[in-house]
Amino acid sequence: MTPFEGPLVNETVNGSESVSHASAVKPARTVEEEVFRSDLNHKLRTPLNAIIGFAELLALKPAGTRQNDDVQQLLKSAREMLAIIQRELAEPCADGAHDGTAIEPGRDLSCDVLYVEDDAVNFTLVERILEFRPAIRLLHAPRGELGLELAQTLQPKLILLDLNLPDMHGSDVLRRLQRERATAEIPVVVLSADATASQIERLLTAGAKNYLTKPFDLDPFLALVDEFVCAPRNV
């Protein structure tokens, strides 16, 4: 046995096995560590959402066998990375093309889905996904205040809501939508990289109809859009 090798089995002390170093209980994390892990979880999920989403779109297009294999490998690796994020960064208790949306005089701004999202890549991804529903009209609001204004004016059938907006938090947007009679009945679905259980519960309790964590799969997302856009809404 070399000096760097040692027994990995538990030693027996006074007739009972002592706990090995490998199975020792890890010390509790500090508040600072938990904040760091939660922030890292969110930051990693945001670009991963785009990678998985666009890869799934590529996988749906006709292509040669080699290209399909490459796309599937990309999806496999991205989902493995997501699994690592979920496992290693989960809560201890947890089970500029689009920077403005100019309103042009005389333009028909009616929409079925309003997406309140400041990240142009995330909006483009949803825009591309909804190409599978060509009859659905999608509009972009990169700021919370603009989203509230468009919701009041256009009465969309569904609002997709990001949380980290440049002018206000998405929870404030949701609260104001719920408070106004003109928008209180519009279903709101949160799309966020924040996968903390407490955040999800808080937004659902506040009135969100659903909460999808980024990255999300295409089929459940489209099913959710179909459910709310096609369903009649009580006014």
Identify whether 94 is part of a domain: no
Average pLDDT over residues 169-181: 96
Identify whether 5 is part of a domain: no
- My answer on whether 152 and 186 are in the same domain is yes
Does the CA dihedral 121-127-131-132 come out positive or negative? positive
Identify whether 235 is part of a domain: no
Beta partners for 161?
Answer: 116, 190
The 10 Å Cβ neighbour count of residue 29 is: 12
Average pLDDT over residues 138-158: 94
**CA pair distance 104, 88, nearest whole angstrom:** 47
- Tell me which H or E stretch contains 205: helix 197-206
Domain count, the chain: 2
Q: What is the pTM of this model?
A: 0.62
pLDDT given for residue 20 in this prediction: 43
- My answer on whether 44 and 136 are in the same domain is no
- My answer on whether 139 and 173 are in the same domain is yes
Beta partners for 160?
Answer: 115, 189
- Lowest-confidence pick of 124-138, 146-160, 163-177, 178-192: 124-138
pLDDT given for residue 100 in this prediction: 42
Copy the structure tokens of residue 96. Answer: 């500029």
- My answer on whether 80 and 137 are in the same domain is no
Domain range for 217: 113-230
144 class by beta-carbon count within 10 Å (0-12 exposed, 13-18 middle, 19+ buried):
buried
For residue range 10-61, what is the model confidence (pLDDT) as tens digits? Answer: 443 444 444 444 444 556 667 677 677 777 766 777 677 677 777 777 766 6
Average pLDDT over residues 87-112: 53
- My answer on whether 72 and 133 are in the same domain is no
Confidence of residue 91 (pLDDT cuts 50, 70, 90): low
**CA pair distance 126, 123, nearest whole angstrom:** 5
Confidence of residue 96 (pLDDT cuts 50, 70, 90): very low
- My answer on whether 148 and 84 are in the same domain is no
- My answer on whether 83 and 129 are in the same domain is no
The candidate with the shortest Cα–Cα distance to 199, out of 16, 45, 78, is 45
CATH of the domain at 215: 3.40.50.2300
How, if at all, do strands 188-192 and 113-116 pair?
Answer: unpaired
